[in-house]
Copies of this chain bind each other. A is one copy, B any other.
Amino acid sequence: MNLLDHHGGIYTDYYQLTMAQGYFLSGRADTVSCFDYFFRENPFNGGYVIFAGLTDVLEIIENLQFGGDTLEYLKSLGFRDAFLEYLRSFTFRGTITSAREGEVVFPLEPVLRVEGTLIQSQIVETVLLNFLNFESLIATKASRIKMAAGGRRVVDFGLRRAQGLGGIHGSKAAIIGGVDATSNVYSAFHSGFPVSGTQAHSWIQSYGDELAAFRKYAEIYPDRSVLLVDTYNTLRSGVPNAITVAKELEQSGNRLIAIRLDSGDLAYLSKHARQMLDQAGLSYVKIAVSNQLDEYVIRSLLEDQGAPIDVFGVGTRLITGQTSAALDGVYKLSMSDNIPRLKFSENYTKLTLPGVKKIYRFTDDQGLFYADAVALEEESVPEIIFHPYFAEQRSALQRYSSEPLMKTVMKEGKVLVRSSAQQSAEYAKERLSRLAAEHKRFENPHIYKVGITEQLMHLRTKLVDEFHQK
């Protein structure tokens, strides 16, 4: 899904272009570099992130160009002719090494790196951050909601409250995170996942008569009706009318699929509705609910209240990731001219990790993930890792099996690895099953160990010392 078409080059921050022109004009057009993508904090005060957005980012970067009138526009902003000529034939020719889409990842580890010229790497920064940050945020939220719902069906209803066109990739990310279907026809069309939806209040209102409205809907969709029962009064009107129609459907050999509750107290109403349905011999009719749901509300409905709910329609808080509206992922230079580079900043937690790096993941004998190690590219599997800031804290890894977490997904500008939303969803599910429950807790989750190797730690110390000696 590349809606940016031939305008992809300008889906960027202005300073990327002023810097790119600067590199170009100062004879550094071919200077090699390495940039890392990583985030500093898990969203939702959670214990992990589902890495998503990679497939879309790679497709966009592979096709990135400064087409249409974009060069005339940049000329009007004062960019110089020689640089505009460079942009006219721009193609991203770098190499990207990354964790797989759907991977369970953690703060401070560089889950993706871009190697290419300074100019090329800079021009793709914004679109890369934009998609990885957003899709990872929503995939993570979706995984939490799906977890709270247990095995129950969860449907994304968010498009109307999505942040503009963000809904397009938001719904895709929700699928990657584990949601079963979406109401978003546009995304389902482009990405091939299941759509879902039946009727709104307007259908019932437009008839003025709830029973007539239910009957008509069931007549047209005898094998796929979900009746919305809260337009007037759920228990005194909606549910009784739905029962009448369900019984009529039985006459013609059909079955009502479900009723949906969209207001009021969903625990109270679902319990009473369940009772009424069961007493009418309609125990097969499912109960779907919607209205301001998220992982906390769902957990409360199911665990605290024992609400007999089968399907959750989740909108705003899924598609926007509320309460965290953004993942704080950044893109930092770690090497240029084959020299490892560092950023200090005023806050020590913003000190970056220099050099071209990779990640090893360690797994215990139960198959559960134990720790991740950030190492320099040339290093073999480490036996010990150090806390990224407090060298006193370290972990021995000899007892654990290891696997490399990143692989080359784009080489010289060509995509090597593609993953459908469903494939990424399956991978995410498998990987999440290998993360211990205490890292998945909603409240105060156990922090997953991400450490750095001794060699990387020493490189950083050396660069810091060099700076202070200047």
Contact = CB atoms under 8 A, between A and B. Distances in A.
Interface in A106-136: 118, 122, 125-126, 129-131, 133-135
Interface stretch (A9-17, A371-379, A425-433): A9-17
A128 to B, nearest CB: 9
Contacts of A231: 343-345
A18 B33 CA distance: 52
B118 A206 contact: yes
Nearest to A466: B208
A404 interface: no
Interface string A309-320: 000000011001
Interface residues of A, number: 108
A341 B133 contact: no
Given A13-B159, A168-B165, A202 B25 contact: no
A14 B155 CA distance: 12
A185 B12 contact: yes
A205 B166 contact: no
Interface in A339-359: 339, 341-347, 350
A363 interface: no
A162 B10 contact: no
Nearest to A31: B206
A185 B17 contact: yes
A10 B343 contact: no
Interface of A: 3-4, 7, 10-19, 21-23, 25-26, 28, 31, 33, 35, 69-70, 73, 77, 118, 122, 125-126, 129-131, 133-135, 137, 157, 159-170, 183-186, 188-189, 195-203, 205-206, 208, 216-217, 219-221, 230-234, 262-265, 269, 316-317, 320-323, 325-328, 331-333, 336-337, 339, 341-347, 350, 467
Closest 10 CB pairs of A and B: A264-B346, A166-B166, A15-B197, A163-B166, A14-B197, A165-B165, A320-B325, A163-B163, A129-B160, A202-B333
10 contacts: A10-B189, A13-B183, A14-B195, A118-B206, A129-B160, A134-B164, A163-B321, A263-B350, A321-B325, A322-B325
